[in-house]
Amino acid sequence: MAQLIDHLFRHQSGKMVAVLTRIFGMHNLEMIEDVVQESFLRAMQTWTFNQMPDPGGWLMQVARNRAIDIIRRHQHFQQYSRELATELQQETENTVQQFFGEAEIGDSQLRMIFACCHPSLKEEDQVALTLKTVSGFGVAEIAHALLTNEAVIQKRLYRAKQFLKDNHIALDIPVGQELARRLNIVYTVLYLLFNEGYNSGNANELIRKDLCAEAMRLCLLLTEHKAGKQPTTFALLSLMCFQASRFESRIDENNSIILLQHQDRSTWNKALIQKGYDFLNLSSQGDELTVYHLESAIAAEHCLADSFAATNWQRMLQLYDLLLEQKRSPLVILNRAIVMAQLHQTAAAMSEIWQISGIEQLIDTQYIFSAVIGDLYIQLGDDHHATTFLQKALSLTTSIAEKKLITTKLETLSRNKLN
């Protein structure tokens, strides 16, 4: 029963919080979260496996009734005549009932996402608040996902909620230029959330499917509302579908990483790949070309190829050239260099990496740069430098799966040296 309640809390609490916040206002968020907790506690006390109600409907009904009870108390019906009190009560119940329709629940959740991604909040606060209020993640889970401790997450949540309360932030969907501005922040938060799941910084889990699934759910919710039904939304969801399609092929039964060139493409989720193509086609409406369009197109190229060797690397390089024009980040330059190496331009690729601004610090702090440089030195036949950089990468990563992969490469280099 406890596992069922936990599952339902993850999938229902965000809906309940969003609807109740729309009724009572953001300034009552703490009270609302308590009401939702009470609903789930009541479920644990009253449900049995032999008499199981429709869980989602039951929880929503309890939350609705609780909302009406609170409104009744606040309206002080005893101050009015019995006839007027009955009329007010019926009006209240009808109003609250409207908010619990399926369309209104989705609308309320979208409003909550926009509130959590208010531009005056720090990015880390936006992510934490979205996970807590919209996705139903607990404080410990958020800390686990974002590689920090519970005290830090508590501070972020308190800071974010206090801002929303002090500034009387309403659950409104922005319009005009403000909508575009807020949507960009929402995209960033969902992109960060998905990427944290796809390449988790957690030592024991390279892939956090729950984070990826939540990012995809929220992105899909955006596409279903007129405010979020934008080409960029479709492009972002397309990217997520392509990336998620390879989940089962990235890690073997021993929790070891399977590199792209060695993955069994027959295990890639064809239904998700088709969804990726469908959303990518929808994203082509209009003349906007965003980072998400380009990253999705790059992911699509991998899915189009029957094998690693058959990948259209020239097309990939063209897409990375376009991506660099919009997002000239060290990681994009690094990924472009990997593509260059596949086109037998390894020396030029290495030169591009060494020209990255602040590359020395990146090598000292982020394992991926040392790992890629080590791989490129292997391709150049320079085992000495390859060993140096791979050992550096090994010392920087905390992921057990990544450590296994790098250790295997180092052992191969060591055997080559002996031979």
Residue bearing the bigger pLDDT, 215 or 103: 215
148 confidence band (pLDDT: 50, 70, 90)? confident
In a domain, 175, yes or no: no
Domain assignment present for 82? yes
CB 356 within 8 A of CB 391: no
User: Are 301 and 311 contacting, i.e. CB atoms less than 8 angstroms apart?
Assistant: yes
Q: How far is Cα 369 from Cα 348, in angstroms, rounded to an integer?
A: 16
Residue 112 belongs to some domain of the structure: no
Check residue 50 and give its pLDDT: 54
Alpha-carbon gap, residue 231 to 243, rounded angstroms: 19
In a domain, 86, yes or no: yes
Map tokens 């796809």 to a residue: 198
Q: Whole domain around residue 19: which residue ranges?
A: 1-100
Report the percent of the chain where pLDDT is more than 70.
Answer: 85
- Domain assignment present for 6: yes
Q: Is 235 domain-assigned?
A: no
pLDDT in tens, 222-253: 999 888 999 999 999 999 999 999 988 988 88
Please report which helix (H) or strand (E) contains residue 179, including its range.
helix 176-198
**Structural domains in the chain (count):** 1
Is residue 88 assigned to a domain? yes
pLDDT at 77 over 50: no
Q: What digits encode the pLDDT tens for the residues 347-388?
A: 999 999 999 999 999 999 989 999 999 999 999 999 999 999
Reply yes or no on whether the pLDDT at 172 is more than 90: no
Residue 400 contacts residue 204 (beta carbons within 8 Å): yes
**How confident is the model over 295-326, as pLDDT tens digits?**
999 999 999 999 999 999 999 999 999 999 99
- 262 assigned to some structural domain: no
In this prediction, residue 175 carries a pLDDT of: 86
Q: Mean pLDDT check: name the lowest of 136-150, 171-185, 264-278, 324-338.
A: 136-150
SS3 155: helix
Supply 225's token pair.
């509302």
**What percent of the chain shows pLDDT beyond 90?**
49
Determine the pLDDT at residue 24: 77
Q: Which residue has the tokens 């391709």?
A: 379
* Mean pLDDT of the 396-403 span: 89
Return the pLDDT at 51: 62
